[in-house]
Structure 1
Amino acid sequence: MTSTEQLLSQAVATNPGDWGLRADLLAKQVERGGLAEANQTLLEAPVAVPDEAMLHRVTDLTGKLDECSAGIRQVLAWFIGANPESGFARLLQAQVTHHAGDHATALAQYRAAKKRDASLIDPHLDALHAAAVARIAAAVVPAAAEPTGSPVEDHPHVDVDGENRSIIVGEGGEMIHAHEKDSDTRAKISAVVVAVVTHIAALVVFGFLVIAQ
């Protein structure tokens, strides 16, 4: 332990809530290879990290160190507890979790981060998300329906007076020849057209009468 590290250790003991001093001590411990001590320095912090910038610094120092996993996870959890809408903090948490090998939890944390800030990007977590979506899509696509092999019944043609004619079933169940149905339809359309023309003519006449007055 260098003299600088000793002084920083004493300063942290005197001011345990000062994350600036604690981060400086962490940097010296990591540089020296004292990773177990660095983990303890994280765990002994009595308060959450004050802001995202400091959280980023601390995570950058220890986030990928297996020996500091417990400490940095606690630091991240405390910060998110105090700042639940911080997408950046949740992204850092997802990255640390992903590095630890817990991909399912990391993906859930990454989704929570993106929900709060859609601009956040991590290529490794994006690839993990894409793979998860592909698995879900493959699971929900139903298998192609196999043919039942049941023959389709043929409906016999209705022969009237020795000729094949189109038949339409009426509302009462009676059969009506297609040409009769067409005649009824044309008659109804003609009646509608006459009514519309009459209505328009009446409106025109009424308009002229109003103008004349």
Structure 2
Amino acid sequence: MATDPQPDAARHVQVVQALGAQIVEGGLAPGTSIPIEEELVGELGVGRSAVREGVKVLAGKGLLETRRSAGTIVRPRESWNLLDADVLSWRFMPEPRPGDIRVLADLRVALEPGAARVAAERADAVAVRRIDEALAALYATADDPEPFIEADLAFHKAVFAAADNDLLLYVYDMISIALRSVRQVHTRSVAHNKETLPGHERVAVAIRRHHHRKAEEAMREVVEVARADAEQHVRLCC
């Protein structure tokens, strides 16, 4: 007798992905009940234990709540773990919505200049070298948008890592999931990518010299340009 290559115990991931994406994308509104267990078993082709485990995982992410009198309902957005990796993926992929692009751009303006300031205060020789290496990769990939996106993400992560603050780095690692998606939307002009290089270099130089105010100012310029790019994309596409 053939065995199932994907045991039911592991198939809860299928439930998590299907229901989670539907909730975050708005297919299941807050306050509404999800389909009953029997329906989910039939729709998703999984066993009851997979459905139950999937619901538990989504409850842990703040998306679902089980009530005796009402079944399992979708929780309001303010209860969601918005920095959860899956929630971010469902929100920003495959293509972010205009409002989400704006939210992310605003978050960068609020967060990254401060991270650069702390990096200039805390960076040791190893951290500075990693920033310089990431900057070199930016220059090396400026003619090719796909590698440039990865190099840009690596540069900003190196700045956060240089701050020597595990909470800051964790936040960056989470939002980089969304950043990668947004970069795909508006980091397509080679000429514009090259125009951003001097700004990134000013950030690197200020951190290398431990000029915290200049690092903060330089990073603010970088992320304000990114926010302007995002706003332009929203105006053109929507």
Fold shared per TM-score above 0.5: no
Of structures 1 and 2, the one scoring higher in RCO (CA 8 A, sep 6+) is 2
Structure having the higher Rg: 1
* TM-score, scaled relative to structure 1: 0.22
When the two structures are superposed, what TM-score results if normalisation uses the length of structure 2? 0.21
* Structure 1 or 2: more helix by fraction: 2
